[in-house]
Amino acid sequence: MTKTLTDLLEARLTRRHFIAGAGAGVTMSLLVPKLSWALTPPPVDVTKSAVLKPGWTESILIRWGDPLTPQAPAFNPAETNPENTRDQFGFNNDYIALFPLGERDALLVVNHEFSDPVLMHGQRGKATAKARATIEMLSVGMSVFQIHLGDTGQWSVVRESPYNRRINARDTLCMASGPAAGDARLITTADPTGKLIMGTLANCGGGVTPWGTFLSGEENIDLFFRGRATQGPEAENHARFGLGNDKLMQHWAAVDGRFDAAKEPNEPNRFGWVVEVNPKDIEGIPIKRTALGRMKHEYTTAISGSNGRCVVYLSDDEENACFYKFVSQTAVDAENPANNRDLLDQGILYAAKFDDNGDVRWLPLIYGEGPLTPEHGFNSQADVVIDARKAANMLQATPMDRAEGIAIHPQTGAVYIALTKNPKRSVSDAANPRAPNLWGHLIRIITNGHEDLRDRWDIVILGTDKTHAQKEVANPKIPYHPKAIPFANPDNLTFTPDGTLWVCTDGAPKSAGVPDGLYTLKEEDKHWILDQVYRVPVGAEPCCPTVSPDQKSLFLSIQHPAQKSPPHAPSTRWPDFSPKLPPRPAVVVLG
């Protein structure tokens, strides 16, 4: 493999179209139809398989059930049991981070967001209900494993690596640290310390710290609980997180009573955190960093700020939830990574107020300041971080249109945020200019070093569907040069060093005219060039593009292929296409 991702992009016809058009003085609105050419469906059946842009290659790195250790058995859908599952790659892989180990090796850490009883057990009849729930608990969390770049340019899993391990919801001991550790609201029947938490779950987006550890965001924790407190101190908190609707994994409560939130009302307070894992510490205990607040965490994008402190931008993925950043109290020790071990325990969590005049004001979530007092139910900083969503609302931070991916521009330092959609929005504001917002948008924070308490923001692009594109361009309420292009529901983001933004979409409506996929967006002279590189098989969602250090490979998670189709007749059997194998979430490598 000789070409970098940038080389591949430079070869695009799209770029030549744009440059010719711009030279002739063509306006953005006239460019919109030209941009749309890349979205013409290719002449293949996109309902079954993934589709890749010509000139690119795709390989499958690892699938659900693939063994991570020499002892682990190969995936066999007829023989799945808890023992076999323990050291196999988990289900519904999501955020991916890569940690180099020399020239040709790296550690990959991959989140596993949720188990799906229908897709996981559809082809099996033997496992008991208890075994199934246990398999599901073992299949979420994270996978840590070594990969190697072979002479042919292909990455493969090193099964013999001592680093390989699974972190799961069933039996991985985690610890809480920071303001809520040991608080009475984290104490349960099983844990009188309020610090020792069995497992992690709902591991969705994430990030990497400047000192080389992995941050995993616990997101939709409500999927995993049965019931909720209807009275008492946690009733409001449970309702705010959507507990009690008995969702996908509510049957776990029958196997492990801590997942019955009505009976064990503090157990949900032990989830919804950012979990830090050092992939190079084989015995390392995952730490739930409570100073970063409890919410439905998506991305946790970290950077060293202008004064050297660690700044972590935090998205809370729910309609009308807010956007946050954490700033550590002390500076990152770039020389000695071990000195940063507790850096995320001391600092200030802020929620963002996106003013209509283009200012961003960062509002501190500090116990005793402003409305964060006993009068409003806050009796300590532990209460502030456990109920960070309530605190942000009381400070009048801006409710957003489902913030998900966060990426920092490699040259300008601007913080790009994907807002997927918000059909529930009834009143618009400048940063969320459409009510309802069906197709999402991208905004950015323009900052002078990440640590200031006042920045500027602007809208990057507004998603739209094909039929509404021209109307959106003409919408006078959109406070920027028309940027609406046929591109819907941006979700996960990353930048390559040349300033190209890689965007996954999730949940694009049929009217968008394009299935979900991986796009590139490149800004030149305030115009955007859009292209689609990859589109996912039916039922699937692309997640978390991650670029290799040599810029030649892009790792991408493909979650829940064939979702919402019957297990005996799945809508696709991607990626194996064998009648003996079910559809399987997998990590693909594009290059």
Write down the least CB distance from residue 420 to Ca ion, Å: 6
Write down the least CB distance from residue 69 to Ca ion, Å: 28
Binding residues for ligand FEO restricted to 289-348, rule: CB under 6 A:
298, 317
CA–CA separation, 163 and 108 (whole Å): 10
Q: Is the Cβ of residue 264 or residue 404 nearer to ligand FEO in the bound state?
A: 404
Task: Provide the residue type at 163 as one letter.
Answer: Y
At 336 the three-state DSSP class reads coil
CA–CA separation, 88 and 65 (whole Å): 5
* Size (the chain), residues: 591
Answer for the pair 480, 431: CB distance below 8 angstroms, yes or no: no
Q: Is the Cβ of residue 276 or residue 317 nearer to ligand FEO in the bound state?
A: 317
Neighbour count for residue 43 (Cβ, 10 Å): 6
CA–CA separation, 38 and 287 (whole Å): 44
Write down the least CB distance from residue 301 to Ca ion, Å: 14
Write down the least CB distance from residue 400 to Ca ion, Å: 14
* Contact range with Ca ion by CB under 5 A, out of 59-67, 289-297, 464-472, 506-514: 506-514
The set of residues, in sequence order, having a beta carbon less than 8 Å from that of 25 and lying 6+ positions away, is none
The DSSP H or E segment spanning 28 is helix 28-35
Q: Is the Cβ of residue 168 or residue 328 nearer to ligand FEO in the bound state?
A: 168
* Contact range with Ca ion by CB under 5 A, out of 37-45, 410-418, 483-491, 546-554: 483-491
Answer for the pair 205, 225: CB distance below 8 angstroms, yes or no: no
Answer for the pair 520, 546: CB distance below 8 angstroms, yes or no: no
Q: Is the Cβ of residue 218 or residue 506 nearer to Ca ion in the bound state?
A: 506
Write down the least CB distance from residue 65 to ligand FEO, Å: 21
Binding partner of 113, given ligand FEO, Ca ion, none, CB within 5-8 angstroms per partner class: ligand FEO
Q: Looking up tokens 């005219």, which residue turns up?
A: 513
Q: Verify binding: residue 222, ligand FEO, rule CB under 6 A.
A: no
Binding partner of 219, given ligand FEO, Ca ion, none, CB within 5-8 angstroms per partner class: ligand FEO
Write down the least CB distance from residue 491 to ligand FEO, Å: 7
Binding residues for ligand FEO restricted to 446-465, rule: CB under 6 A:
none
Q: Is the Cβ of residue 218 or residue 345 nearer to ligand FEO in the bound state?
A: 218
CA–CA separation, 120 and 559 (whole Å): 12
Q: Is the Cβ of residue 298 or residue 383 nearer to Ca ion in the bound state?
A: 298
CA–CA separation, 404 and 392 (whole Å): 17
Listed residue (395, 416, 402, 407) closest to 219, CA to CA: 402
Q: Is the Cβ of residue 87 or residue 516 nearer to Ca ion in the bound state?
A: 516
Q: Is the Cβ of residue 178 or residue 268 nearer to ligand FEO in the bound state?
A: 268
Of these, 383, 491, 516, 531, which contacts Ca ion (CB under 5 A)?
491
Binding residues for ligand FEO restricted to 97-126, rule: CB under 6 A:
113
Angle at 55 between CA 51 and CA 61, to 5 degrees: 60
Residues near ligand FEO (CB under 6 A), total: 6
Site map for ligand FEO, 383-412, x if CB under 6 A?
---------------------x--------
Residue 6 tokens, joined: 């940038």
Q: Verify binding: residue 516, ligand FEO, rule CB under 6 A.
A: no
Backbone angles phi, psi at 241, to 5 degrees: -90, 0
Q: Is the Cβ of residue 113 or residue 222 nearer to ligand FEO in the bound state?
A: 113
Q: Is the Cβ of residue 489 or residue 553 nearer to Ca ion in the bound state?
A: 489
Contacts of 503-507 with CB under 8 Å at 24 or more apart are 503/405, 503/418, 503/442, 504/405, 504/541, 504/542, 504/543, 504/544, 504/545, 504/556, 505/542, 506/404, 506/420, 506/541, 506/542, 506/543, 507/420, 507/421, 507/541
Write down the least CB distance from residue 260 to Ca ion, Å: 27
Write down the least CB distance from residue 329 to ligand FEO, Å: 29
Q: Is the Cβ of residue 510 or residue 568 nearer to Ca ion in the bound state?
A: 510
Of these, 183, 219, 256, 531, which contacts ligand FEO (CB under 6 A)?
219
Write down the least CB distance from residue 317 to ligand FEO, Å: 4
Residues near Ca ion (CB under 5 A), total: 3
Neighbour count for residue 219 (Cβ, 10 Å): 27
Q: Verify binding: residue 506, Ca ion, rule CB under 5 A.
A: yes
CA–CA separation, 391 and 3 (whole Å): 49
Write down the least CB distance from residue 504 to Ca ion, Å: 8
Residue ranges in contact with Ca ion by CB under 5 A: 204, 491, 506
**Site residues (CB under 6 A) for ligand FEO?**
113, 204, 219, 298, 317, 404
